[in-house]
Amino acid sequence: MLDSNKLREAFPNTTIYKDQNIMAIFKAASISGFLRDWILKKQAGPDGKVADPAALQTYFAQLIPNRDQAFELKTQAQEGGTRKFLAKIETEFNIRDNHYTFAVPDLGIQHSQTLIEDYVWDRIKDEVVKKAGGWGVIQIGYNNEPEKSKGGGKLTLLDFKNFCPYKVDVETYREARAKFTTEEWMDVLLGAIDYNANGYDGWVAKHTMLTRLLPFIAPRINLVELAPKGTGKSYLFGSVGKYGWLASGGTLTRAKMFADISGKQMGLVASNDFVALDEISNMQFPNPDEMQGALKAYMESGEATLGKTRIVGEAGVILLGNIPIDNMDETQDMFCNLPEVFHDSALLDRFHGFIHGRDIPRMTENLRINGWALNTEYFTEIMHMLRSPAESMAYRNVVECLVSYSDNADFRSKEAILRLCTAYLKLFFPHAVSPELVDKAEFHQYCLRPAIHMRSVIWRQLQIIDPKEFAHKKLGEYAVK
């Protein structure tokens, strides 16, 4: 069991008390984990507890309005008395009318109702263009002059500032990690994403749950997870961090994923750390061939070209779907219910690994954190910073120094395994910035062996789906030097 005093001593400024009764209030209001912890840090007393839950509710109701308050906000904007509030926005370029628009999905504000005037766009574009919007403090107004508002009254975006409340020191984080054993550190990470480590039966279940974080901490990690219902896939990818995007079911166009044909509006892969496609079996792709071609190019190199537009991104692509536990059979085609886009071995080969959702227990009350834990917002900022090119190169160098592979190793599989190893190293051993700081036995247990297993599932599925191409190819042999 993790010692909470040890945790607080190692992270004196970035731990909070996660009280299930208080957290339930945030859940009822659909407040994401990273926002919740930021608010708790501001509102909790010295003992970590919130003394007045009612005052807390009033505070975040003013800070983060819900859909029921949308009419009030629109009315205030029309009357010139709008206030600033925290929300997640999307921005788009309207090709037909030659102007930018915004949407606030949580408030039901749609692109057809809005306008970003040129002088405002020039001022805020550096804040929004890299993320195609994102979480920020925004202020809306109203323009009822038809000529300026491009055809009628429109809500206007007056201001936007990215939500980034922390200045994070990665070196301090590394120093703190060195104070824990690896098993203790896994418990620290589980608490950071709201899970009670004591509710898990053994390290494999913990490790598999934490594997979901690999796309958060390393660029362009492409994964497939088919798991039984109720294991928390949607929560983790949709609520833990603000730098990813969860698309659930519905229709996804190539323009939304990559860019519109004009190149003025970048898509999801260019503006997020990962794009998770949830309920993948129910997702529709209007032009499967176009989407398939763009995905192949992007997932291979991080680049894709649409017309004259070159799209460059660092987002991983994750497929999430439910599957009965009895169908979790690696010797059979587990991908048969994926959309037509993914019925292509060359595209599936670009997924680095498969997450064994059957090893993750269904969510129960004893798996919910109730006590001191690492602040979720702080932790997601750390993971985002560890994705930088300099950090990725440093950790990859450590992996290259530690892993040997056979001459007949498949090139794409080798790259997948080393990329997964690098992500695992960042997650479990962030302090290991040189090979000498790595315990080789632990590296094999927590990094290399799981990476090989994750890739081997993809490999076996490729051999089943396309035996002519893959039956006689070798995954290769890997070992710690």
The 10s digit of each residue's pLDDT in 395-419 is: 999 999 999 999 999 999 999 999 9
**Residue 130: pLDDT over 70:** no
pLDDT band of residue 166 (cuts 50, 70, 90) is: low
- Percentage with pLDDT > 90 across the chain: 52
Q: What is the pLDDT of residue 298?
A: 96
**Residue 285: pLDDT over 90:** yes
pLDDT digits (tens, 9 = 90+) for 331-351: 889 998 899 999 999 999 999
Sheet with 133-143, edge to edge strand ranges: 99-103, 84-94, 133-143, 154-162, 114-115
pLDDT band of residue 149 (cuts 50, 70, 90) is: very low
Q: Do residues 191 and 369 make contact, with C-beta atoms less than 8 angstroms apart?
A: yes
**Residue 131: pLDDT over 60:** no
pLDDT digits (tens, 9 = 90+) for 451-477: 999 999 999 999 999 999 998 888 999
Q: What is the pLDDT of residue 262?
A: 67
Tell me what the mean pLDDT of segment 225-245 comes to.
86
∠ CA 256-257-263, rounded to 5°: 70
DSSP string, 95-155: TTTTEEEEEBGGGTB-GGGEEB-HHHHHHHHHHHTTTTEEEEEEEEEEE--TTTTTSS-EE
pLDDT band of residue 264 (cuts 50, 70, 90) is: low
Q: Do residues 57 and 121 make contact, with C-beta atoms less than 8 angstroms apart?
A: no
Least confident range from 31-35, 63-67, 292-296, 330-334: namely 31-35
Sorted by sequence, the CB contacts under 8 Å of residue 107 that are 6+ apart come out as 65, 66, 67, 69, 70, 73, 87
Tell me what the mean pLDDT of segment 369-376 comes to.
92
Tell me what the mean pLDDT of segment 154-165 comes to.
82
Burial class (CB within 10 angstroms; exposed 0-12, middle 13-18, buried 19+) of 46: exposed
Q: What is the pLDDT of residue 143?
A: 86
Q: Which CATH number fits domain 201-367: 3.40.50, 1.10.1740, 2.60.40, 3.20.20?
A: 3.40.50
Tell me what the mean pLDDT of segment 78-99 comes to.
83
Q: Do residues 131 and 67 make contact, with C-beta atoms less than 8 angstroms apart?
A: no
Instruction: State which amino acid sits at residue 61.
Output: A
Domain definitions of the chain by residue range = 67-162, 201-367
Strand partners of residue 320: 225
Tell me what the mean pLDDT of segment 146-155 comes to.
64
CATH topology for 67-162 is: OB fold (Dihydrolipoamide Acetyltransferase, E2P) (2.40.50)
pLDDT digits (tens, 9 = 90+) for 426-441: 999 999 999 999 999 9
- pLDDT higher at 433 or 150: 433
